[in-house]
Chain A
Amino acid sequence: MTVSTTEPAPDAPDPADAANTEDAPDGPDAASPPDPTASALAVRSLTVSFGHGRRRRTVVHDVSLTLAPGECLALVGESGSGKSVTARSLIGLAGPDAAVRAEGLWVNGRDATGFRERDWRTVRGRVVGLVSQDALGALDPLRRIGAEVAEPLLVHSLATRAEVPGRVNALLAGAGVPEPEVRARQYPHQLSGGLRQRALIASATAGGPRVIVADEPTTALDVTVQARVLELLRELKESGTALLLISHDLAVVAQLADRIAVMTDGRVVESGPAADVLGAPVHPYTRTLIASVPGRRPPEPAPRAPAGEGDVRPLLSGTGLVKRYASPGGGRRTAVSHVDFTVAPGETLGVVGESGSGKSTLAALAMGLLAPDEGEVLLDGGPWSALDERRRRPLRRDIQLVHQDPLGSFDPRFTVRRILDEALSVAGPARAVRRRERAAELLDQVGLDPELLERRPARLSGGQRQRVAIARALATGPRLLVCDEPVSALDVTVQAQVLELLARLRETYGLAMLFISHDLAVVQQVSDRVLVMRDGVVVEQGPVAEVLGAPAHPYTRTLLASVPRLPDHAS
């Protein structure tokens, strides 16, 4: 049977397809198939492919899911696992290029296999609402928040024009948006990330849907904001709305899900009650996924007490650092305010904070890319921030940077060889032949096949790119790596591998690191000491075990409490 998404669907069932899917190995839910007509959302043997003929790629294979009313089912997987395509197919929005086939599809108990676009439109926003990732992109930037929230009401004629403002205010207030009248008249870019996400949830719930499909609803948010948005989703669930939660983050999922389905390569490899999947995972992939969640592994036994505290001269230190930026409305905004830090040789200093806390400005100050307005950064006890660039340049090989977004930090036209060669030409061997060998060695050190030398960044995976970025940083033989959110854009299993690589490099080369992240769990895993920043101020710093084990500052405690964790019984 064919379920077409945007074009009118041929209704005739295809007996051959039905026969095929029946022969196929049973989906994980097949053992006890619940009655789909009593479900909020159900699909049997969903297969989605793109393209035609030889270029046809099947991205979802034989997926069966059932979401009961008022239940939260989490669909967990890494990028490219097919989880978002699955979710979109369930509301008929897989796109015009997608071929969607399913043995059965039920929306709120209604058979949707023969749905035409017109039928789908009556369902979307009214029976099923969608909340996507990154509300900045998911809300029309040219329309007021109020107009976006009101759209489902007007599309489904659920309110008259006169009733709309009142309904919008109530919806925004219900989603926890303060001053709804003011916010309704603003545009998405004028709201913070958390408020935008709430507004998006308000618009998804405006039509009073029975089901909410939430695709990575908290991924772009700070942890404290994430905790509050998850709370809002929980309230929705408790009020009887069924929730299909799609996420790459097992820890987030563990907060909400009643049942979990794990997807990889377009297939559901394991599904069941949340406690079972997290506590006694059967499939090896689920186990890898759980093991990769940062902060799960026990902290290194003894803190790698770097060669002597105190008496050893720090490799890099900053005192009384202040950096102000001109703010758009006139006046100046203090991004970094009276910050002191030291990094001893071989030590890793973690800097943790939410967006706008000044951590990236601190990285730029440490790199000598920004000049502090007050205070000074010293390298080996000698001047660093006070040097003029001509004198600083020969020393730059000692401090190298690893970005969050390696793709953006590479010239897309360069091959990996040229990317590394450029870095080597600064401080590597003089002869080109030797540099070629060295480039291959560097790739080997970061665990990549030297065959990748001729590739361009666009043809590398996210993890491979970050490894190349690390190799480039290593090319000059640095003593300190400044890592600014180095694993934030990576899938959790890849993240675990890259963190492992960084740990290994640190051991092997005695590298010191200034490790900046919004993710407490990641910082906890890699750092010797940690520095907690908020609004440009260091609120707390000290050894990791001390700061995160017994936080003294209320903000650190809030931050820690907001981090979603896997339940203790998780394997």
Chain B
Amino acid sequence: MNRRLPPAARWLLHRAVGAVLVLWGAASLAFLVLHLVPGDPVTTLLGASATDSAALRQEILREYRLDDPLAVQYAAFLGRLATGDLGSSYQQQQPVSLIIGEQLGDTAQLSLSALVLLVAGALVTAAATAGRRRRVRGAVSGAELVAVSTPAFWLGIVLLTVFSFRLNLFPVAGAGDWRSLVLPVVTLAVPFGSLLAQVLREGMEAALHQPFALTARSRGLSGTALRLRHALRHAAVPAVTLSGWLAGGLLGGTVMVETVFARPGLGRVALDAISNRDIPVVVGLVLLSAAVYLVVNAFADLLCLWADPRLRSPA
């Protein structure tokens, strides 16, 4: 790339080109896979309409240009995407952007709340247990291991049984006030939070064994201050690197949790769209998650640069 550009601009250009490539690849893959799997979008388009005649099917095929060769359909698809048109849902006869936009708020609320809870929880457990006595550490990391390996749907069902059915503390299903959010958020946050806590603690312990930890202690710093002022930042780089993966995991987990708790949101939209071969909606969702992934990763890279000055200079 152009060497005369300032490094920041070059980085941005590099990123932008990469982002376009990723989005193109994601859209193309989704398009291809959905055309290859067996099933018939025409049936979806007919929906519950009473008449199912050959003539009507022909008309639909022509209207949606589903009888064109695949290459032509693909080209038209990319052309529409390039102008920002995600198309209309086969099933709901509404623009995809509208369908996704309607449900985005609920999903964002759920996953962002879970993100806040899991990051906070991971930071606290890691900071409190890193470099502590073996027994404390063993017990906590054992608990984390169990939490990481717990399937989200199972945890959701257990939480529902205890807190909703038995104790009647939280609603069983649906979206309403904050109380309906508690159990889904906890279900989502626990496994990912435990994983993050483990990565953070490992990073902090590695830092606590570095010579600079001894130097810091020799200045009169307390163990807690050493963890917060020095070790945490060292743990940030591996933890932030993990967050790209975490974003993907959270999105996937949201689908599951929304189903278990019967919440509105993108999870249910995705489930419906895939089972009905509603190609435009699926492609829209794929593009959305790819975009989220790209943004999170770019953000993570910036965060790493902030945390570790050694990554900034090319030397």
Contacts and interface: CB of A to CB of B under 8 A. Distances in A.
A434 interface: no
A124 B217 contact: yes
Contact of B215 (A6, A126, A132, A142): A132
- Chain A CB within 10 Å — which of B210, B221, B225, B233 has the most? B221
Given A189-B310, A190-B313, A155 B219 contact: yes
A121 B222 contact: yes
Contacts of B308: 141-142
A260 B61 CA distance: 96
Contact of B220 (A139, A140, A207, A213): A207
A326 to B, nearest CB: 11
A229 B308 CA distance: 28
B309 to A, nearest CB: 4
A369 interface: no
B307 A142 contact: yes
B57 interface: no
Interface size class of B (residues with CB under 8 A): 20 to 34
A213 B315 CA distance: 33
Contacts, number: 91
A309 B212 CA distance: 53
B230 to A, nearest CB: 5
A126 B309 CA distance: 29
Contacts of A204: 218-219
Contacts of B220: 121-126, 152, 155-156, 207
Interface size class of A (residues with CB under 8 A): 35 or more
Interface string A211-225: 001000000000000
Contact of B218 (A91, A137, A139, A189): A91
A140 B313 contact: no
A125 B219 contact: yes
A200 interface: yes
Contacts of A190: 313
Contact of B214 (A88, A128, A151, A206): A88
Contact of A203 (B219, B223, B233): B219
A350 to B, nearest CB: 30
Contacts of A143: 230, 233
A140 B212 contact: yes
B234 to A, nearest CB: 6
Contacts of B212: 137-141
B314 interface: yes
B255 interface: no
Nearest to B234: A142
A341 interface: no
A151 B3 CA distance: 40
A187 interface: yes
B216 interface: yes
Contacts of B210: 137
Nearest to A215: B214
Contacts of B6: none
Contact of B216 (A129, A140, A329): A140
A68 interface: no
A134 B211 CA distance: 9
Contacts of B315: 189, 328
Nearest to B306: A142
Nearest to A190: B313
B218 A124 contact: yes
Given A142-B309, A155-B225, A329-B314, A132 B219 contact: no
A125 B218 contact: yes
A140 B230 contact: yes
Interface string B211-255: 110111111111101000010011000000000000000000000
A138 B214 contact: yes
A329 B315 CA distance: 8
Nearest to B131: A96
B307 A130 contact: no
Interface string B286-315: 000000000000000000000111100111
Contacts of B314: 328-329
A93 interface: yes
Given A140-B216, A142-B307, A142-B308, A132 B221 contact: no
Nearest to A121: B220
Contacts of B214: 88, 93, 130, 132, 138
A330 B10 CA distance: 15
A204 B219 CA distance: 7
B215 A139 contact: yes
A329 B223 CA distance: 40
A128 B215 CA distance: 12
Contacts of A129: 218-219
A126 B3 CA distance: 50
Interface string A421-462: 000000000000000000000000000000000000000000
A189 B221 CA distance: 23
A134 B212 CA distance: 10
A115 to B, nearest CB: 13
A203 B218 CA distance: 10
27 contacts: A6-B223, A96-B133, A117-B222, A117-B223, A121-B221, A125-B219, A125-B220, A138-B211, A138-B212, A138-B215, A140-B216, A140-B230, A141-B308, A142-B234, A142-B310, A143-B230, A143-B233, A151-B221, A152-B219, A155-B220, A189-B313, A190-B313, A203-B215, A207-B219, A213-B218, A328-B313, A329-B314
Closest 10 CB pairs of A and B: A130-B218, A125-B219, A125-B220, A137-B211, A328-B314, A124-B220, A152-B219, A140-B212, A187-B309, A328-B315
Given A137-B211, A151-B221, A330-B3, 16 more contacts: A6-B223, A88-B214, A93-B218, A123-B220, A125-B218, A129-B219, A137-B210, A138-B211, A140-B215, A142-B233, A142-B308, A155-B225, A156-B220, A187-B309, A190-B313, A328-B313
Interface of B: 3, 133, 210-212, 214-223, 225, 230, 233-234, 307-310, 313-315
